[in-house]
Amino acid sequence: MTAQTPAQTPTHQTPAHQTPAQMTARTEPAAGVDSPHAIIDVAVAFWKSKALLSAVELGIFSELAHTPSTCAELCERLGIAGRGAADLLDALVSLGLLLRDDGVYRNAPVADLHLDPRKPATDISGYLSFLNAGFGCWAGMTEALRSGGRIDFSAALSASVSEDHGGAGDPKLVGARAADDTFGEAYAAPDQVSGFLRAMTGYSMGANQAVGEKFDWSSARTVADVGCAEGSLLAQVLSRHPHLEGIGFDLPVVGGGFDAHLKQVGLTDRARFAGGDFFADPLPTADVLVMGHVLHDWDLDTKKMLIAKAYEALPPGGRLLIYESLIDDDRRERTTGLLISLNVSTVSVGGRGYTGAECGEWMRATGFTEVKVSHLDGPEHLVVGVKPDVK
């Protein structure tokens, strides 16, 4: 539950600069631990979620990014009938995502930065479109848990890139046989590839920025991102460290999206794509290898195999960076890490989240030394290990 916050008197002005902590539950005190609302607050969390996702789908943030507007003006321009619109907009004000002054709405700073598709280096709208289409996937959760089936997220992907991207329909349950190829299914059509890659750029934005800012890159010259998607990690790191050059390694089908994104952010002179399959091919070599949100997609043997391949590819003294929404070691605190694990375990064949302690153990068993876990951003954590110098 959220921390106790004092009830506030509603005002017509919203502070222009808020920290994320100030933006959540600003106006309502958290329910006491024995109140029914301690339960109801969790049960209705999907209302907040769907209000935000529908607002993105309706184009509210991208419209307000260039034209602050009244509710009536927005409805007129975006083809919204009006019923419920004022409540939606004011709910977004209460969530700290919009500001309202004298009846005119505009994006709050955090939405201006991250929900404006014309700012490709910081925009996360693609992830929200993916989540909006995937909203229905979780409606299949009970049946997936009961039957052990897999929720087919490629149907959600397909819906997220179609005109009618809110309507993924009923979740489809499929088998979870070891031979299934979930990425092959997900990438079944070109627009699904680009939809998934854009989603990853948004999902990983906070972690990628933090890797660029918090990790000591001074002694490295080269970095390779394994399972790089559109190349958002390299974009965030190389833009902050002009002495670095980068390689993005991913399935060949991903190359077009990588090239387009790196061009958009002006970094094609220092980053290149290397197509390959990490089951069949060696990993590229570099002073630093990165795997972000990759290991959680796979079973334990594959996780260990990828860590061992990274060890082989690194030079002595090279470092491996692994980051995820890690689960806390005692598996009782980090709800996001636990729910991402639930999500991957129901959409993939053998995927599962893990703790920092587990990851450290796999890395040390492979030969890595100086293994450390640190916080990146939000639920995201980094595990770093060093391949020892040859004696």
Q: Which is nearer to ligand SAM, 98 or 199 (CB)?
A: 199
- Residue 198 sits in the site that holds ligand SAM (CB under 6 A): no
Tokens representing 186 are 């997900």
Q: Which of 153, 183, 215, 311 binds ligand SAM (CB under 6 A)?
A: 183
Task: Give the type of residue at 176.
Answer: A
The interface region with ligand SAM, picked from 16-24, 69-77, 99-107, 200-208 by CB under 6 A, is 200-208
Q: How far is the CB of 342 from ligand SAM (least distance, A)?
A: 15
Q: Which of 154, 158, 160, 204 binds ligand SAM (CB under 6 A)?
A: 204
Q: Which of 65, 92, 168, 229 binds ligand SAM (CB under 6 A)?
A: 229
Q: Which is nearer to ligand SAM, 251 or 308 (CB)?
A: 251
Q: Which of 57, 123, 152, 250 binds ligand SAM (CB under 6 A)?
A: 250
Inter-residue contact 315 to 386 (CB < 8 Å): no
Pairing of strands 319-324, 288-292: parallel
Q: Which is nearer to ligand SAM, 286 or 294 (CB)?
A: 294
Cα separation of 114 and 123, whole Å? 4
Q: How far is the CB of 84 from ligand SAM (least distance, A)?
A: 34
Residue 375 annotated to the active site: no
Q: How far is the CB of 100 from ligand SAM (least distance, A)?
A: 34
Q: Binders of ligand SAM: how many residues, by CB under 6 A? A: 17
Taking CB positions, which residue lies at the least distance from ligand SAM?
227
Phi, psi at residue 390, to the nearest 5°?
A: -70, 135
Site string for ligand SAM, 208-227 (x = CB under 6 A): -------------------x
Q: How far is the CB of 68 from ligand SAM (least distance, A)?
A: 32
Cα separation of 53 and 135, whole Å? 9
Q: How far is the CB of 130 from ligand SAM (least distance, A)?
A: 11
Cα separation of 99 and 107, whole Å? 6
Site string for ligand SAM, 264-293 (x = CB under 6 A): -------------xxx------------xx
- Residue 138 sits in the site that holds ligand SAM (CB under 6 A): no
- Residue 200 sits in the site that holds ligand SAM (CB under 6 A): yes
The residue annotated as part of the active site, out of 37, 296, 375, 381, is 296
Q: How far is the CB of 323 from ligand SAM (least distance, A)?
A: 8
C-beta contacts of 28-37 below 8 A and 24+ residues apart: 29/4, 29/5, 30/1, 30/2, 30/3, 30/4, 30/5, 31/1, 33/1
Active site residues: 296
Contacts with ligand SAM, residue ranges (CB under 6 A): 183, 200, 203-204, 227-229, 250-251, 254, 277-279, 292-294, 297
